[in-house]
A and B are shown apart, each in its own frame.
Chain A
Amino acid sequence: MTDTAVPKRRKTSDAADAPSVAPETAPDRTPHPAPRAKDVPRTMKELRIARQGKRKPPPKQDDNPLREGLRLERVPDPSCLVLFGATGDLAHRKVIPALYQLWRTNLLPHDFVVLAIGRRAYDDDTLRAEFHDSLEKYSRVLPLDDAAWRSFSARIRYQKLDFDNVADYDKLTTVLDAIDKEQNSRGNHLYYLATQPSAFAEIVGQLGRVGLDHERHEGGWRRIVIEKPFGHDLNSAIRLNREVGKVFRESQVYRIDHYLGKETVRNLLVFRFGNGIFEPIWNRRHIDHIQITVAETIGVENRGAFYEETGASRDFLQNHLLQLLSLVAMEPPATFDADALRDEKVKVIRAIGEMTTDQIRSDVIRGQYGPGWVAAKPVKGYRQEPQVDPESETETYIAARFEVDDWRWSGVPFYLRTGKRLPKRATEIAIQFKEVPHRLFRESGTDPDPNLLAIRIQPDEGIMLRFGAKVPGLGIDVRSVTMDFTYGSAFTVDSPDAYETLILDALLGDASLFTRADEVEGAWARVTPIIDSWMDEGPPEFPNYESGTWGPDEADELLGREGRKWRRI
């Protein structure tokens, strides 16, 4: 069709709407043929009728008026959770206790099946007995509720599968089809990869090969939960994302960082965006710096071989610490849906500049623990731990200074630290406010400390605000006092375990607390240059901190050179 085919009236109208002279920069291209007049709705009435005639998108659950105001948590659709690595430590310690607890509290659908997948030859009863023993150890609510366990365990089945055996996946398809029919799980499958990371790509590929990724037209959904570590550097993360992306759409992928499921971490969002008084001062004008600490008293325990390949930077910095940073620094999302939330977190990660080699030398401190005393007990140094190279160069401590280069945070340092064999187990975020601009109470014997807001994530979850108060008496003496909110005394009910929250969210299709591919890659893009830089350096002088101390002296100097110090926890 050409311009000449357009009726005259239409042409006139176009001419009236168009600029009289084409702009000089207009690209030299063949004009698009104008649509026929009868295809172009013109009046409001025509537009309305045309819109009504269009096929409407399928209604969403949000459109269901009966959902409004239901106070109970929505129960997930009937489904089958396919647990890969069911005989492993993670399944026994975390996944099964979380599922049992969800079942006990009626948060799982009545038509629910756990298909436990493992490489060992088991039968259903043997596995159930092992799960029961694990629950006796790891369930957060004891004693076990026998009736709840009986009904839950009846829904557990075992299926032997070698991850790289093609025929086993064909068999899995048959088993799942049978479960969907017999147990009424309607083709809704949640694949949970609680396996070694090296098996992720293989399992995902095989699921794709046998078509178990395909969501059904009649509503059967397919989702996959992948445990951390998601890659071991930027390239491997990109590769793994690509492998997963060949089979599953991003909306089907749920990457777990269990820190995000912790009650206090979720409360951080409520604290920031559910209260009016903090957000106006949550910026460079009022905040001097931010410290995020994840301290552990334990060593590597029986994970020496694993830790040798990861170290503190991969084990904690790339995921937990950067996730906490992004939650503290993010802008308020427009809505509380998964992508709005994750969009804002990604912006923060991207605003952290990639460090140069010089910056890494000055702003990143690594350490490794030597022998010492923790909790009044002598402990070994890292190099004496089982499965650890006696000359290991793996870091068990990392402290780093980051800057989030955006309008809100420009010039505010974020100090992050994590380490093993520190004196105390504690995870907290400390917001250090600026000093008052004018010292009014000069005669006070003590300088009040600047205000500090500490958000304790574990243990003793709570929020503490430090401020100055007058000491009772005739003079004006100002001292720092704290106003302390402890979760345990305000709400003495147990918080759900992070895995309960996250598994339920995955079954409900809510990805808010899961990390997206671009978040993972963004975090690796900040951490990989640090690891690469260390590879180019000479061997470090490890061990450089004693067990039971707060890390190497250089970590104190990192803050000290700017007139600051780590908060005493």
Chain B
Amino acid sequence: MAANLTTGGAIVDAPIRLNEPVLRWRSRAHSIEEVEQELSRIWSQVNLESDVDADGDHVNERHVGARTSVMNLVVIAARQEVGERCAATIQRLVGRHPSRTTIVQPADPDGPSWLDAQIVAHCIMPRADAPETCAETIHLTCGGESGRHLDAIVAPLLIHDLPVTVWWPDEPSFGSAPVNDLLVMADRLIVDGSGWHGTGLTQLRRMAAAANRLPLAISDFAMVRQSRWREAIAAIFDIPDFLPYLRHIRRIAVTYGVRDEFGAETTNIVKPLYHAAWLASRLGMEVTRPLAPMTSGAGRKPPVRGAGGRLTTLANPSAGLGAALRLDRSDVAIVIRPVLSAMPSGTTLRVELLADWRGSELRADVTAEQEAVHVRVWQDGVHALERGFNAPRRTDVDLLAEAIEAGGRDPVASGTLALAAELAGGPFP
């Protein structure tokens, strides 16, 4: 039986499906005041209730909805389809992280100011004998001048005392006033650096500058996606015999895929860069020479930069980028190089580590193969370890959940971002 989707109120006969979010309220508003009134209307009812079972039949037992929120989630979507995709992802998390979600979509920036809001509440019932948990979503489309004052739109709709997470699925213009004003009120920013244009390094440097300036925790899906790789690399040095080599790493090489031989200049390399930056930051390395196009001299030339610090000319794109770091008193070479691959451009294919300790050499090779990450280690040329880690592809729901669950400012993430920005030439002032 189809739900009776009335405008402006509760939907009482939506069928209940265990563990599935069900629409229980839908209404519209055209000003922030009206949105606030609608939110009050939702929750001033004693309960959202349903008396319909999974087959859509009316039953005597009424399921009571309990309002729960653990945070404010603000999504800034440049396009409608992006907003819809984010809303669908967030709905899957109603049970796990019930939040008040505000999806803001600026539109028609040169036209007159207007606002259109759709307010919906979804409920989820984890068990047949449990109360439903409900959370609300506000879809806001703001035209004209109002779309440039994101903070003024979002602030009145926040539930007080709850943390504010801003999810920016597109490319935030870090440094601009509207973005700054919004981030000032946020506790966490969620982005996906692997989707930024070009190499992504300019945006990464700007984001690092914002992280320095604001007390903001940043979760980058590009970094979150690599957690299995980090687990695999860390596991090598859980072995006591290999641990001493860790502080004597001499070379970190990350190989990523490009679709064609001309792709190296424009491929987003945020993900491969994070691998190197994570290792370097965990080991306390210092950047002595930032990333620069490698020539046959293996990156001995200074980086060539154009306007805005963008790396412009690659003498030999297929040779990749090279950087130099310092660990204790030794030099460490970083190499980030492209290879032709059928995988999506910018995907990490291999991380190689070379360490040299007391005349003994350790070489580790970490590769992605289907849904696993494989580790192979050679000690003085002798095969010493082979191990696999399950690493299935992760959905946006998984990534968002993991980003949200990272409470507070994660020192590992912020250290990695800071070092990645240093490798890319330093955060923008």
For the complex formed, measure the closest distance between the CB of A225 and the CB atoms of chain B, giving whole angstroms. Answer: 22
* A-side contacts of B78, CB under 8 Å: none
A219 close to chain B: CB less than 8 A: yes
B406 contacts the other chain (CB 8 A):
yes
Contact in complex: A492, B235 (CB < 8 Å): no
Q: Are B133 and A66 in contact (CB under 8 A)?
A: no
* Partner among A70, A78, A494 whose Cβ is within 8 Å of the Cβ of B227: A70
Asked if A403 CB lies within 8 Å of chain B CBs, one says no
At the interface with chain B, which of A36-44, A322-330, A411-419, A483-491? A483-491
Q: How far is the CA of A68 from the CA of B95 in the complex (A)?
A: 29
8 Å CB contact of A219 from B228, B239, B413: B239
Say whether B227 contacts A66, CB under 8 Å: no
Residue of B with least CB distance to A110? B388
0/1 string, A489-522, CB within 8 A of B gives 1: 1111110000000000000000000000000000
**Inter-chain contact B96/A491, CB cutoff 8 Å:** yes
Query: Which residues on the A side are within 8 Å of B127 (C-beta)?
Result: 488
Interface positions, chain A 457-504, Cβ under 8 Å from B, are 486, 488-494
- Contacting B234 at CB < 8 Å: which of A67, A78, A490? A67
**A75 and B231 form a contact (CB under 8 A):** yes
**CB-contact partner of B130 in A106, A111, A489, under 8 A:** A489
Within 8 Å CB of A493, what residues of B? 95-96
Query: Chain A contact residues: over half helix, strand or loop, or mixed?
Result: loop
B390 at the interface (CB under 8 A from A): yes
Q: Evaluate contact between A490 and B372: CB separation under 8 angstroms.
A: no
Beta-carbon contact of A488 and B390 below 8 Å:
no
CB of A61 within 8 Å of the partner chain: yes
- Quick check: B126 and A64 within 8 Å, CB to CB? no
* Closest chain A residue, CB of each to CB of B232: A75
Contact partner of A69 among B133, B387, B412, CB < 8 A?
B412
Is B390 a contact partner of A66 (Cβ separation < 8 A)? Answer: no
A387 on interface, CB distance cutoff 8 Å: no
Minimum CB–CB distance for A426 against chain B, Å: 14
Q: Which residue of A lies closest to B392 (CB)?
A: A106
Give bound CA distance, A61 to B234, whole Å: 10
Which residues of B lie under 8 Å from residue A184 when comparing CB positions? 386-387
CB closest residue in chain A, given B413: A69
Report the bound CA distance from A68 to B130 in whole Å.
Answer: 38
Do A111 and B234 have beta carbons less than 8 Å apart?
no
Q: Which residue of A lies closest to B391 (CB)?
A: A106
Cβ of A70: which chain B residues have Cβ within 8 Å of it? 227, 230-231, 234, 412
A66 to B249, CA, bound (A): 13
> Closest residue to B96 on the A side, CB-wise?
A493
Chain A 273-284 against B: per-residue CB contact (8 Å), 1 yes, 0 no?
A: 000000000000
| Beta-carbon contact of B126 and A488 below 8 Å | yes
Which residues from chain A contact B231 at a C-beta distance below 8 Å?
70, 72, 74-75
Interchain CB contact under 8 A, B411 and A64: no
Find the B residue at minimum CB distance from A490. B68
Residue of A nearest to B95 (CB): A492
Distance in Å: Cβ of B231 to nearest Cβ of chain A: 5
* In the complex, chain B residues 151-199 whose Cβ is within 8 Å of any chain A Cβ: none
Q: Restricting to A98-155, which residues have a CB under 8 Å from any CB of B?
A: 106, 108-111
By a CB distance below 8 angstroms, the chain A residues around B406 are: 71
User: Judging by beta carbons under 8 Å apart, are A492 and B386 in contact?
Assistant: no
Q: Tell me if A58 is interfacial: C-beta within 8 Å of chain B.
A: yes
Against A, the Cβ 8 Å flags (1 = close, 0 = not) of B361-396 are: 000000000001000000000000011111110000
| From A59, A69, A494, contact of B411 by CB (8 A) | A69
A489:B389 contact, CB within 8 angstroms: no
For B, the interface residue count at a CB cutoff of 8 angstroms equals 44
Contacting residues, chain B, for A60 (C-beta < 8 A): 240
Q: Let me know if B3 is at the binding interface, CB within 8 A.
A: no
Q: Cβ of A66 and Cβ of B387 under 8 Å apart? A: no
Contact check, B238 vs A110: say whether CB atoms are below 8 A apart. Answer: no
Cβ of B240 and Cβ of A58 under 8 Å apart?
yes
Check A23 for interface membership: any CB of B closer than 8 A.
no
Q: Is B387 touching A78 in the complex (CB atoms < 8 A)?
A: yes
Does B279 count as interface, using CB distance less than 8 angstroms?
yes
Residues of B within 8 A of A59 (CB): 240, 243-244
Tell me the chain B residues, 229-284 only, with Cβ under 8 Å from chain A.
Answer: 230-231, 233-235, 237-240, 243-244, 246, 279, 282-283
Q: How far is the CA of A71 from the CA of B223 in the complex (A)?
A: 12
B138 on the A face (CB < 8 A):
no
- CB neighbours of A19 from chain B (8 A): none
Chain A residues numbered 411-461 whose CB sits less than 8 Å from any CB in chain B: none
Interface presence of B124 (CB below 8 A): yes
A68 to chain B, nearest CB (A): 6
Which A residues touch B70, using CB under 8 A?
A: 490
Cβ of B131 within 8 Å of any chain A Cβ, yes or no, is yes
Which residue from B95, B124, B282 sits with its C-beta under 8 Å from A65? B282
Please name all residues of chain A whose beta carbon is closer than 8 Å to the beta carbon of B389 when the two chains form the complex.
75, 109-110
Interface centre among B131, B230, B234, B282 (most CB of A within 10 A): B234
- The verdict on A63 contacting chain B, using a C-beta distance below 8 Å, is yes
Residues of A within 8 A of B238 (CB): 61, 64, 67
Q: In the bound complex, what is the Cα–Cα distance between A486 and B234 (angstroms)?
A: 37
Q: Are B131 and A66 in contact (CB under 8 A)?
A: no
Smallest CB-CB separation from A151: which chain B residue?
A: B390
Residue of A nearest to B405 (CB): A71
Q: How far is the CB of B11 from chain A (nearest CB, A)?
A: 20
Q: Does B237 contact A71, Cβ atoms closer than 8 Å?
A: no
Residues in chain A near residue B230, CB distance under 8 A:
66, 70
A492 touches B126 (CB 8 A): yes
Query: Given A58-B240, A110-B390 in contact, is the A69-B96 Cβ separation under 8 Å?
Result: no
Chain B, 198-245, CB within 8 A of any chain A CB: 227-228, 230-231, 233-235, 237-240, 243-244
Query: Distance in Å from the Cβ of B159 to the closest Cβ of chain A?
Result: 15
Q: Which residues of B contact A61 (CB under 8 A)?
A: 238
List A contacts of B126 (CB < 8 A).
488, 492, 494
Is B66 at the interface (CB under 8 A from chain A)? yes
**In the complex, which residues of chain A have a beta carbon less than 8 angstroms from the beta carbon of B391?**
106
Name the interface residues of A251-281: CB closer than 8 Å to any CB of B. Answer: none
- Say yes or no: A71 contacts B402, CB within 8 Å: yes
* Contact (A66, B240) CB under 8 Å given A71-B402, A110-B388: no
Instruction: Look across to chain A and name the residue whose beta carbon is closest to the beta carbon of B66.
Output: A489
Any chain A CB within 8 A of the CB of B410?
yes
Closest B residue to A488 by beta carbon equals B130
The 0/1 profile, CB within 8 Å of A marked 1, for residues 399-414 of chain B is 0001001100011110
Known contacts A64-B238, A70-B227, A492-B95; decide if A106 and B390 are in contact (CB<8 Å): yes
- Identify the closest chain B residue to A218 (Cβ): B241
CA distance A67 to B283 in the complex (A): 11
Whether B388 pairs with A492 at a CB distance below 8 angstroms is no
Instruction: Output the least CB separation between B92 and chain A (Å).
Output: 12
Residue of B nearest to A67 (CB): B234
A184 to B124, CA, bound (A): 43
Counting chain A CB atoms within 10 Å of each CB, the highest count among B279, B282, B391, B413 belongs to B282
Q: A70-B234, A110-B389 are in contact. List 4 more A-B contacts (CB 8 A).
A: A66-B230, A66-B234, A70-B231, A490-B70
Which residues does B use to contact A, with CB under 8 Å?
Answer: 66, 68, 70, 95-96, 98, 124, 126-127, 130-131, 133, 227-228, 230-231, 233-235, 237-240, 243-244, 246, 279, 282-283, 372, 386-392, 402, 405-406, 410-413
> Which residues on A are within 8 Å of B, measured CB to CB?
58-61, 63-72, 74-75, 78, 106, 108-111, 184, 219, 486, 488-494
Closest 10 CB pairs of A and B: A69-B412, A110-B388, A492-B95, A66-B234, A492-B126, A106-B390, A59-B243, A61-B238, A488-B130, A58-B240
